[in-house]
Amino acid sequence: MALPPEPHLPRRFAPVDTRHEKIILLRGVMPTGKNKVLMAPLRAALEAAGLGNVRTYIQSGNVIATSELEASSIEALVHRTIKAQFGGDIKVLVRSPSYFHDAMHGNPFRNEDPAKLYFTLLGSRPDKSMLDEFHALGHAPDRVKVVDDMAYVLCATKYSDLKANNNFIERKLKVVATTRNFNTISKLIALSSAGSAPAALPL
């Protein structure tokens, strides 16, 4: 006797193919203004563009999705989709969940207050001469350490007082960059295949 077919799972409960999972960070997304991109319409647009199991976390442009495309191709796809659907010229950076897991564990300020720690992802490794000049600035009373394509930023007080903010890092290192705080990176890791938590429902 033939077994009945397995029931079709709704998309939100479907298993995630973690082999091709990516974390996608959008630079400068706002809930209002010229870079306004709301997360619910963004999820729908990215799924229509071919990404799978699209999830977002808070309004600042944090996406988890699956795709067999290379990271650079996903960046181009997401950029084109946002420009076509929402009109914004948004820079996009894509890395694997394991990249952020390793970046978290390689954090040179892991013994400091995490509430003052920020991760600035760089679009590429900066030129060595520019990086040497950047580190020579000192950045006191704050502390900044660039490792490969990640800048770890420890604020002495608060991010709004920081000189080495996202725009400053982009200007000095001549790279695209986007910044997230410790809690956001931790949550993205937890929601992805690099974390111990099960796949979450879309936020």
**CATH number of residue 158's parent domain:** 3.30.70
**Contact predicate 63/55, CB 8 Å:** yes
Which residues have CB under 8 Å from 29's CB, separation 6+?
A: 35, 36, 37, 59, 60, 61, 88, 90
Instruction: Give long-range contacts, CB 8 A cutoff, 24+ apart: 160-168.
Output: 163/139, 164/137, 164/139, 166/27, 166/120
Within this chain, do residues 91 and 105 fall inside the same structural domain, yes or no? no
SS (H, E, C) 104-123: HHCCCCCCCCHHHEEEEEEC
> 154 is in which domain, residue-wise?
100-187
- Give the whole-angstrom CA distance, residue 180 versus residue 126: 19
Within this chain, do residues 45 and 76 fall inside the same structural domain, yes or no? yes
Within this chain, do residues 156 and 182 fall inside the same structural domain, yes or no? yes
Which residues have CB under 8 Å from 6's CB, separation 6+?
A: none
Within this chain, do residues 83 and 122 fall inside the same structural domain, yes or no? no
Number of domains in the chain: 2
Within this chain, do residues 183 and 119 fall inside the same structural domain, yes or no? yes
* pLDDT at site 203: 40
Within this chain, do residues 80 and 139 fall inside the same structural domain, yes or no? no
**Per-residue pLDDT for the chain (203 aa), expressed as one digit of tens each?**
444 443 333 344 344 456 689 999 999 997 777 788 999 999 999 999 999 999 999 999 999 999 999 999 999 999 999 999 999 899 999 999 999 999 999 999 999 999 999 999 999 999 999 999 999 999 999 999 999 999 999 999 999 999 999 999 999 999 999 999 999 999 999 999 866 444 333 44
Helix (H, G, I), strand (E, B) or coil at 74: helix
Within this chain, do residues 71 and 89 fall inside the same structural domain, yes or no? yes
* pLDDT at site 195: 62
* pLDDT at site 18: 62
Longest dimension (CA), the chain: 75
